[in-house]
Structures are given as structure tokens and as C-alpha cells.
Amino acid sequence: MKFLVMLTPSAGKTLDDFMPHMVPEIEAVWASYLGDELREFYFSANPQVITLIYELPSIEAVHAAVDALPMVKVGLLERQVVHLGPFHQIAALFAKPDA
């Protein structure tokens, strides 16, 4: 199953709060990528959003993977997880009109 994870800075956190966790965070993301759990990762500066695409068997597995990230563990990042599924509505393009 595929999941979209959006991480945003927790309210009131500054760059100084994040600095001690930068290298461990990047190492954890890279390990997840090499471990074949994390498929894609992106960063947007304005607004600040880290976007991760995971492919795991369940939403519980995604929550466990995200909760293991150092910046999430210490409360620097808030998470939103969305299960991505097939776009079944596209079938309407191929439906045969009523005769």
C-alpha cells in the first residue's frame, strides 16, 4: 500500500531547535529509503513541508516508521498520513453510453 506523509514544523520551533537533529534525521530517512520502505522524499521551503511517500503493508507500519524519525520523536515535526489508493473514477472515461 502507498502512503503520503506530510511533515510540518511544530508551532513555535526555530531552526536552532532542528539543528542538533539534522544529521540523525537525514540518516534515518536514508536508511528507510535503502530499506525499501520509503520510495520518495521532497522538501518545500515555503511553506515548509517535508513530503514522504512510503510503500508499506499498513497504516500502522507507516506510523511506526514515521514515529521512529528523530525529529518526530522529539516533537519537532507534526505529521499527516494519507492512504493513497487507485483513482477508480477514471473508469468513467471508458464507460459505454446507454443505448
Q: What is the pLDDT along the chain (99 residues), one digit of tens a residue?
A: 999 999 999 999 999 999 999 999 999 999 999 999 999 999 998 889 999 999 999 999 999 999 999 999 999 999 999 999 988 888 888 888 775
Range of the domain at 12: 2-94
* 99 within a domain of the structure (yes/no): no
pLDDT value, residue 7: 97
* 10 within a domain of the structure (yes/no): yes
In the chain, how many domains are there?
1
* 62 within a domain of the structure (yes/no): yes
Grid cell 532542528 in the structure block, residue: 18
pLDDT value, residue 79: 96
What CATH number is given to the structural domain containing 19?
Answer: 3.30.70.1060
* 20 within a domain of the structure (yes/no): yes
The full 3-state SS of the chain, as one line of letters, equals CEEEEEEEECCCCCHHHHHHHHHHHHHHHHHHHHCCCEEEEEEEECCEEEEEEEECCCHHHHHHHHHCCHHHHCCCEEEEEEEECCCHHHHHHHCCCCC
What global pTM score does this model have? Answer: 0.85
